[in-house]
Amino acid sequence: MAPQRRTATKAPEGNGASERRNRSSTKKDRAPREVQRLWQRPWLRTAGLGAGLVLTALLLWSSLGADDGVAEVLARRGEVVAGRFIEVPCSEDYDSHRRFEGCTPRKCGRGVTDVVITRKEAERIRSIAEKGLSLGGSDGGASILDLHSGALSVGKHFVNLYRYFGDKIQNIFSEEDFQLYREVRQKVQLTIAEAFGISASSLHLTKPTFFSRINSTEARTAHDEYWHAHVDKVTYGSFDYTSLLYLSDYLEDFGGGRFVFMEEGANKTVEPRAGRISFFTSGSENLHRVEKVHWGTRYAITIAFSCNPDHGIEDPTFP
Ligand SMILES: *[C@@H]1O[C@H](CO)[C@@H](O)[C@H](O)[C@H]1NC(C)=O
Ligand SMILES: *[C@@H]1O[C@H](CO)[C@@H](O)[C@H](O)[C@H]1NC(C)=O
């Protein structure tokens, strides 16, 4: 279900294997000669060379990855990722904030999973975003809806939809919508906690946590400019773990709009897929950007967590 913690389970095996290797190497190096004899059999040599070529081709293919040959793909739209985790060294960004042992990242990295939120759930949660955003929408290509604060993009500004629409909001959203929102938030929180080996209760939902709807319309204000590379912890000091739940499909619902982890030498992309959770530690070890959307409409929800309880926010409740 959640990303595998390979490092933790592998360590003891690895030690055992190297001990065995050390013991057998004292037996006068019998193994290498056997290997040499085997290697002299022509069919084995051919098979070996064949395997080598296939391996080289596979390595080349995976390093080139994307069609544009520029970025590696961490998760493709068409695959179902059962849990993928890549550890990266933590940046020093966390040092300038209060540390919460057992929560503040000591293990950093990024993960993707398609098996925590079903596509059906993603569809239902997307309809919450559609309903809410149909009440407003930015003049530019990027609109947000924040059910916690009530912020909704309208034209070049934001309104508080709870204040603006008052009781009418009960005709738009339902109790079940808010229930689902809470369940999804909970599942995402558990996924992050498991992947980083921390307790879920040490994570506090923080702001901004919001729906986004992006289309190809040109930006009108700075709020519409979502595509710049940034570090979440620099933008929002409270963030320690960031997650995205995608609610539409790359190349089915929209073009462009891939998520890109920016690294020297090789950018790594996550292709959005409805129900896919992408999550990562919020420091500059995970500098990232979102490509401009070229066509269609891209829906996602950003769910952020802080280790500092003072930065915690409540789940939204049905008004
Ligand atoms: C994009 O969304 C805005 C509302 O936020 C809308 O006015 C505009 O027509 C949309 N553009 C396209 C190309 O669909
Ligand atoms: C990574 O992406 C950035 C911005 O899109 C680009 O300028 C850079 O050339 C890319 N790096 C590599 C190695 O592809």
Structural domain contains residue 180: yes
| Euclidean distance between CA atoms 4 and 33, whole angstroms | 38
**Cβ neighbours for 44, distance < 8 A, ≥ 6 positions apart:** 38
* Domain count across the chain: 1
Show which residues are catalytic: 298
Question: pLDDT value at position 57?
Answer: 53
Q: Which of 260, 267, 287, 292 to mutate to test the pocket of ligand 2 (most atoms within 8 A of CB)?
A: 267
Q: Is 140 helix (H, G, I), strand (E, B) or coil?
A: coil
> CATH number, domain at 271?
2.60.120.620
Work out the mean pLDDT of the chain and round it to a whole number.
85
Q: Which ligand does the CA of 290 lie closest to?
A: 2
Banded model confidence at residue 44, pLDDT cuts 50, 70, 90:
low
The number of residues making up the chain comes to 319
Q: Nearest C-alpha to atom 1 of ligand 2 is from which residue?
A: 267
Structural domain contains residue 50: no
Structural domain contains residue 46: no
In percent, the amount of the chain with pLDDT more than 90 equals 75
Question: pLDDT value at position 52?
Answer: 58
Structural domain contains residue 297: yes
- Cα 266 to averaged position of ligand 2 atoms, centre (Å): 7
Structural domain contains residue 167: yes
Structural domain contains residue 204: yes
Looking at 158-239, list the stretches that DSSP marks H as alpha helix, in order from N- to C-terminal side: 161-165, 175-196, 232-235
Give me the sign of the Cα torsion angle 223, 224, 226, 228.
Answer: negative
- Mean of the pLDDT values across residues 227-234? 95
Between 141 and 42, the higher pLDDT residue: 141
* 213: containing domain: 73-153+160-311
Structural domain contains residue 201: yes
Question: pLDDT value at position 203?
Answer: 98
Tokens of 175: 């109790």
Mind listing the pLDDT tens digit for each residue in 47-104? 555 565 555 555 555 444 334 546 899 999 999 999 999 999 999 999 999 999 999 9
Q: Looking at the CA of residue 267, tell me the nearest atom of ligand 2.
A: 1
Structural domain contains residue 262: yes
Banded model confidence at residue 264, pLDDT cuts 50, 70, 90:
confident
Question: pLDDT value at position 223?
Answer: 87
